[in-house]
Amino acid sequence: MRFLPQLFANNQSWASQQTHRDPEFFKRLCAIQRPDYLWIGCADSRVPANEIVGLAPGELFVHRNVGNIVGRDDQNCLAVLQYAVDVLRISHVIVCGHYRCGGIQAAFGPPTTDPLEGWIAHIREIRQTHARELALLPGDEQRWQRLCELNVIAQVQILSNIPTVVRAWQRGQQLAIHGWIYNLNDGLLHDLEVSINKPAY
Ligand code: CO
């Protein structure tokens, strides 16, 4: 007996739609993967990377985790980054957070249990760094949403010091890093204007 039959039915209809629209679709995808972008986003089910930016399979390389964190010692994230930059030669890394992020909210709460707590520690650290700015905001809601932004900005900074990125810039490879945030309320992306673009265009 097969579990989750609905998902398989969905899959069959999706695959046939793709083939109907473009008979060569899967053949082409199999032959080559040449995305120009790496997306580092939150695992949140409401933030589907490809859909938000209207990109098809093959056009966006994706890494997602709770709170869109670039862990300096996270082998998973570092391997994705290395493959994207060194092998796929993508030219843009997009760190995309979102407002009302549960991972960010957890960083304001009491300690939870590992492994989640170990992960949230990355965000607690950013909260600590910006404690003064956050304290000046009028309420918890504003502090939560601002930390969603500050977290993205911090991840862009961290990325810019990861050896894979530094080495790409040193050898003259065109690579830009961007920090964006997604609004669940209206489906719109906002550029946090913290892009680092090297070597300069
Ligand atoms: Co989130």
How many angstroms separate the alpha carbon of residue 77 from the centre of ligand 1?
A: 16
* Gyration radius (Cα) of the chain, Å: 19
Q: 9-44, pLDDT tens digit by residue?
A: 999 999 999 999 999 999 988 887 889 999 999 999
- Integer Cα distance of 84 and 174 in angstroms: 13
Answer whether the bond into residue 115 is a cis peptide, omega within 30°: yes
Structural domains of the chain, ranges and CATH numbers in brackets: 1-31 (no CATH), 34-191 (3.40.1050.10)
Distance from the alpha carbon of residue 24 to the mean position of ligand 1, in angstroms: 36
For residue 48, the model assigns a pLDDT of 96
Spans in the chain with pLDDT lower than 70: 1, 200-201
The pLDDT assigned to 1 comes to: 53
Cα of 117 from ligand 1 centre, angstroms: 15
Report which of 139, 73, 68, 77 is spatially closest to residue 108, judged by C-alpha positions: 139
- Rounded Cα distance between 92 and 196, Å, is 10
Write down the pLDDT at residue 32: 79
Out of 101, 122, 148, 178, pick the active-site residue.
101
Q: How far is ligand 1, taken at its centre, from the CA of residue 101, in Å? A: 4
Active site residue 89: no
Question: What phi and psi values does residue 30 have, to the nearest 5 degrees?
Answer: -65, -40
pLDDT of residue 122: 96
CA distance 196 to 181: 16
pLDDT at res. 200: 63
Q: How far apart are CA 139 and CA 142, in angstroms?
A: 5
Amino acid at 59: E
